[in-house]
Structure 1
């Protein structure tokens, strides 16, 4: 079970790096109150100040038939926890959770040989963010302080259940529910991959890939960043 062994640190460079560089049992969770080398996809810096909930957990690659949709599935698990607190979150393909148009959670999945290290950053109790970030926290949305330990344990309980179902039944079990909660579905977007591509966000396929309807036909993206056309990249 995820969280049977847990290491909670006041601060560290990156919870991801600890699980990648050292030997721990599968299911181990590393939590930090602050990170000075927190990162998202493509090496982007993750704003990891006091107040957020930052944790990584260790999975075994061979336990999963599919790894490509894992960021979406983990994001969906976090979304369920945030929904349970009375918010109306949405998933932003491929690995973020948003509330009221601003980011509250990011997921990072990294494979290192037989290890899969999953990092989750949840904006829980921060009171402000730099003005250039399209980010908010649950505290800022409701003016309520959330108990970090309780929130973590509840989230891990949901993630453990969701990942067990994903292991047994695959992504197709989650695809309908995830589609209902996808930002920009059916709208004109720009996908930033190797180069920007404009089209209609038509669907996600059985692997969680984004299907984009363009003038050249239907294109498939396994990774990238998506924004509404004409809006700021975030």
Structure 2
């Protein structure tokens, strides 16, 4: 049961780091939530501003089957979107795992793995969601919060409970049919096949048409032909 054990930390470097250091002493489904993170991070190791008022938590999964780690990323992303619907917030996913509302980033997900003798023994999914926290001025055009979207102050643990309920429901449904979860995840993406996008990779910026959206890659048609990218950031696209 996800969330049967919840560990609350007033302050920590990051909830992901806490679980990476202690995964072996906690059971599957353990959730760590912090009031403040001093070294929160997102994709590409970018800092994630994590002050008081936001929801910063990580979930520990210990796979019993040979499941791809991104199954748990998609599981959490889809569950968050479904939980937000109960708050009357129409959220979408920006490939691969950012949660957007009203055209701005509301939450992000960072998944990390632990292997032992080449066997996957733990998957840690970290979630950072802006709830009641202030958004720094330099991020006003890019990020939002639940409070900004609805003008309502939320109880963070109530929002967490809603998300965990959705994760547990989705885990029951999709653990035996991960391909169905991929279809749901793909349907929630802001990006669609056939769209023109601008993406940033490790060493260049590319423009092209999305030919295929896969679990862990996007195939683009650029002026150089087809290219499959696994490490990229979508920085612009046509709606």
**TM-score, normalised with respect to structure 1:** 0.89
Q: Distance in 2 between matches of 1:165 and 1:209?
A: 25
SS of the residue 1:63 aligns to: coil
Give how far 1:62 is off: 4.2
Partner of 2:118: none
**Paired position in structure 2 for 1:178:** 185
| Residues 97-149 of structure 1: per-residue CA shift (max 9 Å, x gap) | 00011100100000011111110111111233232451110101110011111
User: How far apart are residue 225 of structure 1 and its match?
Assistant: 1.1
Alpha-carbon distance in 2 for matches of 1:218, 1:72? 26
Corresponding residue number in structure 1 for 2:133 = 126
**Pair 1:215 & 2:223 matched:** yes
Listed as ranges, the gaps of 5+ residues in structure 1 are none
Give the Cα separation in 1 of the matches to 2:230 and 2:75: 14
Q: Measured at CA, do residues 78 and 11 of structure 1 come closer, stay the same or move farther in structure 2, by a change above 3 Å?
A: same
CA distance in 2, matches of 1:4, 1:135: 31
What is the match of residue 208 of structure 2?
A: 199
Match among 196, 213, 233 for residue 188 of structure 1: 196
Q: What is the TM-score with the length of structure 2 in the denominator? A: 0.87
1:64–1:167 Cα contact (<8 Å) kept: no
In the comparison of the two structures, how many residue pairs are matched? 228
Q: State yes or no: 1:55 paired with 2:38.
A: no
| 1:185-234 deviation digits (Å, cap 9, x = unpaired) | 232212223333321123423x353232323443333332112159xxxx
Match in the other structure for 1:7: 7
Q: Which runs of structure 1 show a deviation greater than 4 angstroms over 4 or more consecutive aligned residues? A: none
Cα distance change of structure 1 residues 164 and 104 upon mapping to structure 2, 3 Å threshold:
same
Alpha-carbon distance, 1:69 to partner: 4.5
Residues 1:163 and 1:64: Cα distance change in structure 2 (over 3 Å): farther
| Counterpart residue number, 1:37 | 39
1:128–1:140 contact (8 Å) kept in structure 2: no
Q: Equivalences for 1:154-173 in 2 at 5 Å?
A: 154-170=162-178, 172-173=179-180
C-alpha separation in 2, matches of 1:61 and 1:190: 36
For the 8 Å contact 2:131–2:145, the answer to whether it is kept is yes
Q: Which residue of 2 aligns with 1:18?
A: 18
Q: How many angstroms apart in 1 are the aligned matches of 2:66 and 2:81? A: 21
Counterpart Cα distance in 2 of 1:176 and 1:161: 17
- Please, what is the CA RMSD of the aligned residues? 2.0
Task: Give the Å deviation of 1:150.
Answer: 1.2
